[in-house]
């Protein structure tokens, strides 16, 4: 088929139009990279600004957090110090209250002590006045005093009752009381302590009483007694050192440590006008008792050689 000129012209126009379109599209596509390159600095600036803002915000937040933590710590420290001060003040107040209570108690105890001292002094004064001018006779007082002595010491010296016994002895004996071979209250108290150390059994039993006046202002009370003794096995060699040297057979003294030995004697009390015992004489028949127990006088001599106990009075000497 033969193509007409008009058709050729139309076909050429379409081709030109299509070429323009292709050109325009290619030009737009080719411009895109150039446009991206031109926009990059603005985007970087925005990103940098955003990063800077974020970093500044993070720094600000961290600073604020540190400041907050520091403030909290200061507040906690202040609160802790306040609690400590409150607790210390409370303790000080409590201690002050306790001190005041103790001061009041001490003052009360001191007043009670003074009242007791005054009462004791008045009682002692009345007792001395009564002794000097007793309602009854001095003989009655002397007999009563001696009876009390035998009640207190009927079983010898007792450790549980020692303070009471010693106090009683000091109350009835004159300060410078004289004995057979003793002098002073302390010497008599020491004798009772030595008796407790060396005798497992010591019973003082009064038998016969005799009372009579000595002059115008003294009374003598003479009491016949029986003393029942048993020596300590552990300390008998201290009373009789000859047992340690072997001069005496230990079997010889077994009756003294296993049985009860009865010793006769007398206690003589002289009570003066003050109502105190000025003289206390003790006489014991130890020599006769040992001769009876050991069987012969020779055995007694051997046993008591260097002994610490007086056979006439029973006084024990300190080693």
* pLDDT the model gives residue 173: 93
pLDDT for 189 beyond 90: yes
* pLDDT the model gives residue 108: 82
* pLDDT the model gives residue 162: 87
* Highest-scoring range by mean pLDDT, 7-16, 35-44, 48-57, 235-244: 235-244
pTM of the model: 0.57
Select from 199, 192, 213, 193 the least CA-distant residue to 149. Answer: 192
Which tens digit of pLDDT belongs to each residue from 240-276? 988 888 778 888 889 999 999 999 999 999 999 888 9
The DSSP annotation for 98-140 comes to: HHHHHHHHHHHHHHHHHHHHHHHHHHHHHHHHHHHS-SS-HHH
Confidence of residue 41 (pLDDT cuts 50, 70, 90): low
Which tens digit of pLDDT belongs to each residue from 89-130? 988 988 988 898 888 889 888 877 877 777 767 666 665 655
Token readout for 22 is 């292709």
Select from 163, 154, 169 the least CA-distant residue to 177. Answer: 169
**Mean pLDDT for all residues in the chain:** 81
SS3 of 5-60: HHHHHHHHHHHHHHHHHHHHHHHHHHHHHHHHHHHHHHHHHHHHHHHHHHHHHHHH
Which tens digit of pLDDT belongs to each residue from 164-188? 999 999 999 999 999 988 999 999 9
- β-partners of residue 227 are 204, 263
Other beta carbons less than 10 A from residue 138's beta carbon: 20
Higher pLDDT, 81 or 6: 81
Q: Could you give the count of Cα atoms lying within 13 Å of 142 in the half-sphere of its Cβ? A: 27
Helices (H), 133-182: 138-152, 162-172
Domain ranges for the chain, please list them.
137-304
Question: What is the C-alpha radius of gyration for the chain, rounded to an integer number of angstroms?
Answer: 60
DSSP β-ladder status, 218-231 and 261-271 = antiparallel
Other beta carbons less than 10 A from residue 220's beta carbon: 18
| Cβ atoms 197, 231 nearer than 8 A | no
Select from 203, 200, 202, 220 the least CA-distant residue to 211. Answer: 220
* pLDDT the model gives residue 195: 93
Which tens digit of pLDDT belongs to each residue from 191-239? 999 999 999 999 999 999 999 988 878 999 999 999 999 999 888 988 9
Q: Which CATH number fits domain 137-304: 3.10.129.10, 1.10.600.10, 3.10.590.10, 3.10.450.50?
A: 3.10.450.50
Which tens digit of pLDDT belongs to each residue from 275-308? 899 999 999 999 999 999 988 899 899 899 888 9
Which tens digit of pLDDT belongs to each residue from 143-168? 999 999 999 999 988 888 888 999 99
* pLDDT the model gives residue 66: 82
Cα torsion through 78, 81, 85, 87, rounded to 10: 120
- Collapsing DSSP to helix, strand or coil, 223 comes out as strand
DSSP structure class, residue 165: H
- Collapsing DSSP to helix, strand or coil, 245 comes out as helix
């Amino acid at each position: 088929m033969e193509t007409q000129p008009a058709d050729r012209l139309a076909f050429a126009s379409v081709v030109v139009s299509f070429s323009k379109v292709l050109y325009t599209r290619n030009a737009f596509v080719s411009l895109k990279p150039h446009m991206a390159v031109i926009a990059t600095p603005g985007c970087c600036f925005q990103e940098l600004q955003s990063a800077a803002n974020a970093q500044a915000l993070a720094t600000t937040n961290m600073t604020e957090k540190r400041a907050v933590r520091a403030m909290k710590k200061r507040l906690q420290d202040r609160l802790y110090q306040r609690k400590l001060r409150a607790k210390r003040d409370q303790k000080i107040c409590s201690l002050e209250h306790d001190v005041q209570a103790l001061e009041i108690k001490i003052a009360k105890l001191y007043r009670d002590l003074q009242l007791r001292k005054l009462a004791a002094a008045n009682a002692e004064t009345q007792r001395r006045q009564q002794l000097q001018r007793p309602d009854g006779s001095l003989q009655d007082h002397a007999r009563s005093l001696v009876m009390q002595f035998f009640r207190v010491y009927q079983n010898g010296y007792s450790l549980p009752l020692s303070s009471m016994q010693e106090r009683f002895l000091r109350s009835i004996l004159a300060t410078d009381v004289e004995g057979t071979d003793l002098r002073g209250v302390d010497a008599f108290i020491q004798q009772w302590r030595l008796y407790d150390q060396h005798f497992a059994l010591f019973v003082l039993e009064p038998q016969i009483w005799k009372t009579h006046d000595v002059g115008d202002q003294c009374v003598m009370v003479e009491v016949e007694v029986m003393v029942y003794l048993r020596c300590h096995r552990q300390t008998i060699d201290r009373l009789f050192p000859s047992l340690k040297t072997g001069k005496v057979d230990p079997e010889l003294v077994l009756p003294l440590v296993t049985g009860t030995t009865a010793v006769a004697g007398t206690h003589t009390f002289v009570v003066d006008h003050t109502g105190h015992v000025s003289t206390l004489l003790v006489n014991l028949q130890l020599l006769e008792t040992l001769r009876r127990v050991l069987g012969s006088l020779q055995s007694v001599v051997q046993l008591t050689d260097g002994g610490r106990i007086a056979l006439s009075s029973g006084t024990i000497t300190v080693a």
